Structure formats: structure tokens, C-alpha cells
A = this chain, B = another copy of it.
């Protein structure tokens, strides 16, 4: 609070519009932010300067033809329409709803810009997102006791006491950087704290569960999600969201190997070899013209048109909108859940799981055949831009066969586990914490999963075969059987 304080005051009073040569339609408040932050956090200021946010007003953005438009709310509040989207326009929104709101040099701002704030201009995207599974990624872990037990079994601290393994609950920090790094945290404002930034003393909100950019983050305004998971602040480029590296932050082997499978697929081959000449910023995205093979977003959520100008696939920020099968077996693959909040599912055994141990699906919580067909049609529309209907049909027939085969291989391992339980070689109270239970988890969470992803995404035969594929799926059954045989003899 020394001379810097007076410098701030000086800016407050004598702030000149053109001080840094920015475009003229920057708001006074944002200009004030920039006056200091251009010096203190130049990385994000420069990034913002290169962004569309700093170069376009919502009014101009709304003038574009419908398919080219990147803002979806036609009724953006009037005070925001004729200025570019700067620091204050986002961090100053809805401050009353934000528990992380605070006074920063006489201006009330929020630490975290949430989906509810982004909704001011991008309403359709946020509304779609809020329906999908990503928005429920936190509560689906926390409110499902089976999943919570798995999480805790993995990340709790283990100590060796009296020749036994004793568990201590996982710390908040560990949670934040493991499961909940992707799923998201619940951000809680614990109070205020004093910090020193540069040479200034500041009082700022003290947040638990932050930093975090998990897809289901529960924000201090009650909203769910984190747009920055895929649209990194403060460039918010489409280029980034459309490239597979972005999805590759979370969708990784061994559990959800979508990105590594893509890398080894024919589609990935084409992207990596020739993608440097594609247009990743074009809206809408013209198949063949702007890109020659799909990235993740191409198949799953981008607005795609053909060269005749007709819509092939609508944009959706519900990332399950074109998905009818849930590859990720829990413990078997099954029709996609009908609603994003999966913790409400109850299977025939009363457990919050989409199938029973014997693979009976909890059908009333899952997509109907009709709903599945509609989603499949929206996906295959994209496939057919390059592939014949016959090709696409054969591809998905093969995928369907793979679901059956891998589910059967999981069932075999489940039967082996049940045998071990019956022989009292392991205890079923916690099905996740003993040696043979660990082998069983690998079967569905790593191996069966990898094969299904490889099957679904045209290629990545290595993931179907040796790398977490059939080799492991078969070896693991042998290992489980061997472990039971040995322990049966020893006991």
C-alpha cells in the first residue's frame, strides 16, 4: 500500500483512453484494469488482445449471418453491446450472486468467471452444457457412494500399522489434482486473505478448491462447469477448442483413452500430417474445405456444413449429443444415460450403477432404442461426409460386436472375482481394495475400455491389441485365475 497505491489512484483520476493505444470502444473500467495488468500480468493481457473478445463488440458479433454467429443470445444487455468484451465486462458480471466477489481498487469484481456469466452472450452453449454429463461431473462422483468408495480407495493415504494397511482420508489438495482435476471441485469461499502481489498488499477472497478447471466445477455463484476447461483464458480461441490436444487434457489412457486412440487412428494420422493447412477458426466449419479429417470436436460437437452450404451437424455443447453408447464400462458398456445426473440411477440390485454385476442394464435410466437411433443418425451424418453408407454401417456393426465381446470378457473376470469372494480369498465389503479386486478393475476400467474406444474411433489397432487391449484383457483373466489357484492352495 505504498507508492503503488497512489499510482492506482492517479490512474483512477487521470486515466487516459488512449494510453496504451487500444481500440477506442474499451470500457472505462476495463481500461483501468489494463492500466495495471498490462504491467503485472502481461501474459493474459496480450492473449486477450489477440482474442476476438478484444476486437469485436457483441453488437457487431450479432450482425453476422446465423451460421457464422458465435454469440447466441440475441438479447445481450444494452450496456454491453457497444463495447468490446474486456476484463470488467466478464469479471464484473452478476457480482451479487458471486460469493467470490470482492472490492479490488474500488471496483467490485469476481475472481472466477462462470458459465452463468458467459451465458450473458453465449446462452445456448451454456444451456446445452448444463444438460450434459460434464456439468454433473462433480456430483456424479460425490453423490454416488460406489464411485466415492473407488475414489477414496485409490487416493487415500495408506500407512503400515501393526502389519496392516491403514487408510487416512485423501486431502483436499490431492483430490483437487487427481479425480477432481478433471471432474471439477466445489469452490468454496473460506473468507478473505491478505496477500502481497508485486509490492502491493491486497485483500482477496480465500478460495478452497481453486485453482481448478474441471468440467463440472461447482462455482461460487452456484453454477456448474468451467468454460476454460476447453476455451483457455484469455484467448478463448476456437483453434484451441477444435484441436485434439484440448480434449487430451483429460480423455487419456488407461481409463478413457479417447485422445491416444485418436492419435493412432487414421483420422489422427491425417490431422497431424496435414492439419497445418486447415482453417480452425472458420465458422461454420466446412467439411473438406476447412478440414480434411475430423478432430474430436468435428465428430462430437462442432457446427459442420457441407460445400453446398447445408448443415451436416448442429453445434452442441452437450458433448453427449451425438453419443448413444456409453463406451466407458461401469462395469459394462451400455446405452447412454438419458440424463447428465447419473447418480440417481438405480439398477436391479438397487445400486447407483447403470448395469448390474451380471450386466442387466438399468434401462429406465438409459436412452431408448429410438433416442439412440436419433443420436446415431446425427453422428453418422458426419461420417458420411467422407465414407459411404455401406462403410459406415459395417464400421458400427463391428463396434456393436466389440461391445458384446468385451462385455463378455468383463463378465468372465467378474465371475473369477465372485469365486475368490466365495473362497474367502478376498472380502466383498469394499470391492476395490484387494489384489484380485485391483485386477478386476483393470479389466473393465482399462482393457475393455481401450478396445471399445479403439473400435469406435476407426483405427488405433494397437489399443485394441497389445496396448491395454486384448493382450491384457486375456492375460488378466489368466492372472486372476492363477492368483486364485495359488491362494487356494496356500490357504
Most-contacted residue by chain B among A43, A46, A211, A470 (CB, 10 A)? A43
Known: A158-B477, A307-B42, A384-B41. A177 touches B210 (CB 8 A): no
B237 touches A274 (CB 8 A): yes
The contact of A179 among B50, B435, B465, B491, by CB within 8 Å, is B465
B387 touches A41 (CB 8 A): yes
B412 touches A273 (CB 8 A): no
Known: A273-B245, A487-B486. A467 touches B402 (CB 8 A): no
Q: How far is the CB of A217 from chain B (nearest CB, A)?
A: 13
Residues facing B in A41-79 (CB within 8 A) are 41-47, 50
A470 touches B154 (CB 8 A): yes
Q: How far is the CB of A414 from chain B (nearest CB, A)?
A: 9
A160 at the interface (CB under 8 A from B): yes
A204 touches B435 (CB 8 A): no
A371 at the interface (CB under 8 A from B): no
Q: Is the interface of A mostly helix, strand, loop or mixed?
A: helix
Once the chains are docked, how many angstroms separate the CA of A235 from the CA of B158?
51
Once the chains are docked, how many angstroms separate the CA of A269 from the CA of B231?
11
A178 at the interface (CB under 8 A from B): yes
B393 touches A465 (CB 8 A): no
A415 touches B160 (CB 8 A): yes
The contact of A394 among B178, B207, B253, B435, by CB within 8 Å, is B207
Q: How far is the CB of A211 from chain B (nearest CB, A)?
A: 5
Interface-lining segment among A113-121, A168-176, A324-332, A336-344: A168-176
A369 at the interface (CB under 8 A from B): no
Residues facing B in A265-288 (CB within 8 A) are 265-266, 268-270, 272-274, 276, 287-288
Once the chains are docked, how many angstroms separate the CA of A388 from the CA of B205?
12
A160 CB contacts on chain B under 8 angstroms: 412, 415-416, 419, 477, 481
B204 touches A390 (CB 8 A): yes
Known: A44-B386, A171-B401, A276-B276. A465 touches B245 (CB 8 A): no
The contact of A245 among B246, B269, B470, by CB within 8 Å, is B269
Known: A213-B266, A467-B253, A470-B178. A38 touches B415 (CB 8 A): no
A108 CB contacts on chain B under 8 angstroms: none
The contact of A174 among B38, B249, B253, B401, by CB within 8 Å, is B401
Q: How far is the CB of A342 from chain B (nearest CB, A)?
A: 20
Residues facing B in A163-190 (CB within 8 A) are 163, 165, 171, 173-174, 176-179, 181-182
A273 CB contacts on chain B under 8 angstroms: 237, 239-240, 243, 245-246
B402 touches A177 (CB 8 A): yes
Top 7 A-B residue pairs of the complex, sorted by shortest distance between their CB atoms: A46-B288, A181-B461, A43-B386, A173-B401, A197-B389, A240-B273, A245-B272
Q: Knowing that A40-B384, A435-B478 touch, tell me 14 more A-B residue pairs with CB under 8 angstroms.
A: A39-B306, A43-B385, A154-B470, A165-B481, A173-B398, A181-B461, A193-B390, A197-B389, A243-B273, A245-B273, A249-B266, A253-B462, A253-B467, A433-B478
Q: Would you mind naming 30 contact pairs between A and B with Cβ atoms under 8 Å apart?
A: A39-B306, A42-B287, A42-B288, A42-B289, A43-B386, A46-B288, A46-B307, A47-B292, A155-B474, A157-B409, A160-B481, A165-B481, A173-B401, A173-B402, A173-B405, A177-B398, A177-B455, A179-B465, A181-B459, A197-B390, A210-B391, A211-B387, A211-B391, A211-B458, A237-B273, A245-B268, A249-B265, A433-B478, A438-B475, A486-B486
